Structure 1
């Protein structure tokens, strides 16, 4: 199965360089390189795209806004590929449905594995991104959870923690020695208690206490 990708970045050197790198892998097909978020949204609406790699800072429509529209209106999975200069956008991007948040200086092989992981249903955030997210939320202490643990069972808390680390249902089931069906039931319960709609929102909720 070939994973079909588009790359949106207003820096032509970066987007064309990324296209060259990803095209060396036989399991990827780069369908298009685009200049901004609006172009990415339009392309994903009219073409079968598996993964959209989006920069954050782009003219006309930035990557955070594009992420929301792509997640809501297409079957494409948006992945943010950006720099730490854009770290203030991490929360909004993931809240808007980003399935991954990677740094541009990541080694190509790791980007490749991240794209494949997202394609197979996982959420991928590098540890440095997660740490950045935790440390910057309202100046709170890094190890302090804001969520009301009394609302959840111990098992639900454990599952939320693993979701926040990007684990799939299958991986969570293996980690906790329970069935995938049981994991799904717990996630349904978590969504019901929080009013959230999907896994990436659970990850943000677990890390920040906000249902956004």
Structure 2
């Protein structure tokens, strides 16, 4: 079954370019192309979309705002496609629920791989972007992760998150329910003051 996609970018050349490339592959079905984040969010709320490819800098509603609305109201996974100089949006986009953050300069195959991974429940962050987040965290001395705060099970959850596993995959691996996994993640976030699971992985790996 093909992955149902929408593409949102205010640059018509970029938008149509992605549409043309992805439409040539039977594994992807392009449902809609939007010129701004508001159009993208409205479409996802009204229709079943597997993955939304969003630019960050868009009029009316930017990619970060659209991500918050899409992730808060639908089951659609969001993959941010951006340019190098949009890195100030990284933290907010991930905080709002984006499952991937990739540079537009990647090859079509790399972008296709990222779409498949995001659809499968994994988080995809390009190395250069990951390094930027890690550098930001490294500069916050007071926020270093103290592993002595956690139970053995919480450490297992943290290690699983750092390997990019989804809640469903963690539950299967540790023989616990997805609800229990979610409760452990909430506990970890509360103990550390972190805001989302991607930060947990980065802190663990730093």
The separation in 1 between residues aligned to 2:182 and 2:41, in whole angstroms, is 29
Contact 2:79/2:101 (<8 A) preserved:
yes
User: Are residues 1:146 and 2:144 paired?
Assistant: yes
Correspondent of 2:186 among 161, 181, 191: 191
Contact 1:156/1:186 (<8 A) preserved:
no
Contact 2:121/2:165 (<8 A) preserved:
no
The separation in 1 between residues aligned to 2:54 and 2:71, in whole angstroms, is 12
Query: Cα gap change, 1:187/1:148 in structure 2, threshold over 3 Å: closer, same or farther?
Result: farther
Task: Decide which moves more: 111-120 or 127-136.
Answer: 127-136
State the secondary structure of the residue aligned to 1:179.
Answer: helix
Query: Cα gap change, 1:172/1:129 in structure 2, threshold over 3 Å: closer, same or farther?
Result: farther
- The equivalent of 1:26 in structure 2 is 26
- The equivalent of 1:201 in structure 2 is 196
State the secondary structure of the residue aligned to 2:175.
Answer: helix
User: Are residues 1:103 and 2:103 paired?
Assistant: yes
State the secondary structure of the residue aligned to 1:194.
Answer: helix
- The equivalent of 1:12 in structure 2 is 12
- The equivalent of 1:160 in structure 2 is 158
User: Are residues 1:114 and 2:118 paired?
Assistant: no
Query: Cα gap change, 1:91/1:164 in structure 2, threshold over 3 Å: closer, same or farther?
Result: farther
Please give the per-residue CA displacement for 1:147-194, whole angstroms capped at 9, x wherever unaligned. 232221356345425424523357668xxxx93425954553232343
User: Are residues 1:134 and 2:134 paired?
Assistant: yes
The separation in 1 between residues aligned to 2:67 and 2:91, in whole angstroms, is 12
Contact 2:99/2:122 (<8 A) preserved:
yes
- The runs of 5 or more residues in structure 1 that have no matched partner are none
Give the root-mean-square deviation of aligned CA atoms.
Answer: 2.8
1:114 Cα offset (Å): 1.0
Contact 2:84/2:103 (<8 A) preserved:
yes
The separation in 2 between residues aligned to 1:45 and 1:170, in whole angstroms, is 24
User: Are residues 1:69 and 2:69 paired?
Assistant: yes
- The equivalent of 1:181 in structure 2 is 175
Contact 1:37/1:61 (<8 A) preserved:
yes
Contact 2:154/2:188 (<8 A) preserved:
no
Instruction: Tell me the TM-score normalised to structure 2 length.
Output: 0.84
- The runs of 5 or more residues in structure 2 that have no matched partner are none
The separation in 2 between residues aligned to 1:84 and 1:165, in whole angstroms, is 25
Contact 2:157/2:185 (<8 A) preserved:
no
Query: Cα gap change, 1:44/1:150 in structure 2, threshold over 3 Å: closer, same or farther?
Result: same
- The equivalent of 1:42 in structure 2 is 42
1:45 Cα offset (Å): 1.1
Instruction: Tell me the TM-score normalised to structure 1 length.
Output: 0.82
